[in-house]
Structure 1
Amino acid sequence: MEEVSNCSGNDISSSCSKKQFTGEPTLMKQPEAVLDDVYYRSLELVDIFVCTIKDKKKTSEIVKNICKHLPLEKLSHLKRVRSNTNQVDELQIIVAENYEEDFLTNIWSDLCENNAVYCHVSKPYMVKVPALPPLTRQQYNNAVQYWPCSFHEDKRITRLLNRSFFNAEEVKCIHKNMEEAISVAKSSVYKLHIGAVIVDPKSDTIIAKSCDLRQGKHPLQHAVMVAIDQVATVQGGGMWQLSDKCSNNLQKETCCKEKGDKTGPYLCTGYDLYVTAEPCIMCAMALVHSRISRVFYGSPHPEGALGSKYKLHVQPGINHHYEVFCGVLQDHCHKLMSDIT
């Protein structure tokens, strides 16, 4: 299989529009969606056998017979017939999806002997075609340079790839919430300045927020883990009795809901997380278990689990998938980490 390089490019509540954004206009960029690698893959080519149709009047009969005797199973995304790129008045038809040396001497010879319609096609020869179905407009444009393909564009994926998914008011709301996470990170009494904020997007309400406490008494008290635990506390649970200066201040500011107001069987169903640094694998998995809806982070991390080293949120084996967006106020978030001495 050959690889050809190619170039790759839940609405927030309208209540966001009621709040003034205090950030700099130069920072008003669309967050970048962290999608499955299949949407960024390069074009892969595979060798197949095709024939030239000698008599175009026999095309329908030829296609019917070849589809019956030589069905396409692995390459069903390909059109069976195309116009010959070298000869405008000729048609080419796919006869075998696997390039096997014994195809001509065995299978094809038997078909020609038993069906006269095959005298209207040339001897099979090899061409390269796209091995996988295109999932994006860019992949489709690259694929059809080799062979016509079926393609049903996912408009949502296109908007995510083009970074045109959110409207201006939604971007303001996203940046406002990340500014809050940055503010929380700066309030930390520890050197590791990471802030996390969990928001209910339906009401634009902060449910919980925390800075990173792992340098205190407990190594598992990452900002994300503490924020999730605060959500549990709001709902009558929680595991950690936090006594650090940072957490005490934040607990007082946490916007608690009325008991019974939470919908859904999990802690963070329908909620968004804003965190200044890309979550680690532990935090990313905790977000799966708590059923977070979306994650927005600022600065990537070499060991990060949501785009840099892993993409946990798109793994097919997990029982919940959430959306991830990166690069929100990235320079500001990165500065929080670079300020550590």
Structure 2
Amino acid sequence: MAEDNSRPIKRLKLNDNAEWYASAILTDEYSKEIPRVTVYLSELDNKRQISNVMYQLSKMLPLEQMNLQHLKRVRQLDIILCKVGDLKDQNITQYLESVGLGNEVVDILCKNIREYDVPALPPMLRWQYELAQTCWPCKFHPDKYMESLHNGSIFNEKERKFHSNIMHLLLTIKNCMENDKPCGICIDPRTKSVVALASSRASISPVMHCPMMLVDFVARTQDGGAWREEVSDEFANDDEELYNDVKVNPIISGIPKRYLDFIRTDERFKDIRIGAELPRAKLKCDDIEQNATLNVDNLEKYGPYLCTGYDLYLSQEPCLMCAMGLVHSRARRVYFEKRSYNGALVTRFKLHAIKELNHHYEVFQCKKQGEDSNHVIYS
């Protein structure tokens, strides 16, 4: 398992009765300290020298040229000259002269020079900014959304209780109905409704992992699904009138019959909504043109494509195959409980951190308060 060197996160204090909370798995740029780079500092004799020196430095050797624009150039009488690594075979005097600084300014700057480590990149979160400030003054533009992901305040009390209810349902099915096999639930966050529910069917095929089954069951609600024949015995026949009292809509073909019966009859889960959104036919040309002017996206125009806009709750961290499958299916968020020895979202690496991917989902680990959340599953 990869070693976790990230800084401990100061989490939001929870004042409600939610049994579970979702902790964001952020990319390394948000979870680790800002790296340092060594620069040359010059200590000036007095503040009267700053104005003339700064004028020439900003013109001939701007911080932007060194990718250090996130730093303030002056701290009291210390002033940043350049990165130590930029000099190559020159000494500092030769380098400053080569960039066009006047002889008088070069003499002033070279009088008292030392090497010093400063933040190499701009801070992304406030804890990084506060830590960087102890090293050298930085510029900082806070991102409220990322701050809320980091400290857990992104979810309100109602949302945390919803996470708890879904995790309770997920683990009840896993432990009581599936003999501890990996399980997953797909949720439409707009309606807080269960779209699909699946467990691993690796005994049928080695690629039928739980997340792959879940995506396939979501596809069933959109007149698709690649494994209809393999799992036909798990679903009700089309002529059975089972769905008349569903709370959201009648499209529940992504939920096997025994799961559906369990949810509808177990008193603990009576308030959980069931059903996917109906696929909508393509709009007429006039409607499409009118909606285009209103910036309506494809989800609004045509309904969901696979897991577009959906959240997936998994009993364990997905492997690389499954994590990539969730990228292709356009999931919005992925929640998981236990880490896996071959997990691709935090244990081995963070797939969602790869910027070159054409889709990115947010990742959360659902943690039960007071329990070890870093336990790794080897099955």
Q: CA shift at 1:308, angstroms?
A: 1.1
- Aligned to 1:135, the other structure's residue is in SS state coil
Q: Aligned to 1:291, which of 314, 325, 330?
A: 330
Structure 2 CA distance, aligned partners of 1:119 and 1:36? 45
- Aligned to 2:35, the other structure's residue is in SS state strand
Match of 1:272 in 2: 311
The one-letter amino acid paired with 2:220 is T
Structure 2 CA distance, aligned partners of 1:146 and 1:333? 33
Distance 1:145 1:49, change over 3 A: same
Structure 2 CA distance, aligned partners of 1:333 and 1:142? 27
Q: Aligned to 2:19, which of 20, 28, 31?
A: 28
Instruction: Say if 2:75 is the partner of 1:79.
Output: no
Consecutive unaligned residues of structure 1, counting only runs of 5 or more, are 10-24, 84-90
Instruction: Say if 2:61 is the partner of 1:65.
Output: no
Match of 1:325 in 2: 364
The one-letter amino acid paired with 2:40 is F
Structure 2 CA distance, aligned partners of 1:177 and 1:258? 22
CA RMSD of aligned residues (A): 3.1
Match of 1:178 in 2: 167
Distance 1:234 1:332, change over 3 A: farther
The one-letter amino acid paired with 1:8 is P
Structure 2 CA distance, aligned partners of 1:202 and 1:102? 61
Structure 1 CA distance, aligned partners of 2:175 and 2:50? 71
Structure 2 CA distance, aligned partners of 1:257 and 1:105? 69
Structure 2 CA distance, aligned partners of 1:326 and 1:244? 29
Q: CA shift at 1:132, angstroms?
A: 2.1
Deviations 1:291-338 (A, max 9, x none): 010111111112111111121112111110001100344969999x79
Equivalent pair of 1:293/1:323 in contact (CA under 8 Å) = yes
Match of 2:152 in 1: 163
The one-letter amino acid paired with 1:198 is C
Match of 2:266 in 1: none
Q: CA shift at 1:71, angstroms?
A: 2.2
Match of 2:225 in 1: 238
Aligned residues: 310
Distance 1:255 1:108, change over 3 A: closer
Instruction: Say if 2:91 is the partner of 1:103.
Output: yes
Structure 1 CA distance, aligned partners of 2:373 and 2:79? 55
TM-score (norm 1): 0.80
Match of 2:351 in 1: 312
Match of 2:140 in 1: 151
Equivalent pair of 1:277/1:300 in contact (CA under 8 Å) = yes
Equivalent pair of 1:199/1:208 in contact (CA under 8 Å) = yes
Structure 2 CA distance, aligned partners of 1:50 and 1:324? 41
Per mean C-alpha deviation after superposition, the further-off stretch among 114-123 and 93-102 is 114-123
Deviations 1:139-176 (A, max 9, x none): 22221222111111222222222222211110011111
Distance 1:104 1:329, change over 3 A: closer
The one-letter amino acid paired with 1:49 is Y
Per mean C-alpha deviation after superposition, the further-off stretch among 254-263 and 180-189 is 254-263
Consecutive unaligned residues of structure 2, counting only runs of 5 or more, are 10-15, 237-254, 261-273, 282-298
TM-score (norm 2): 0.73
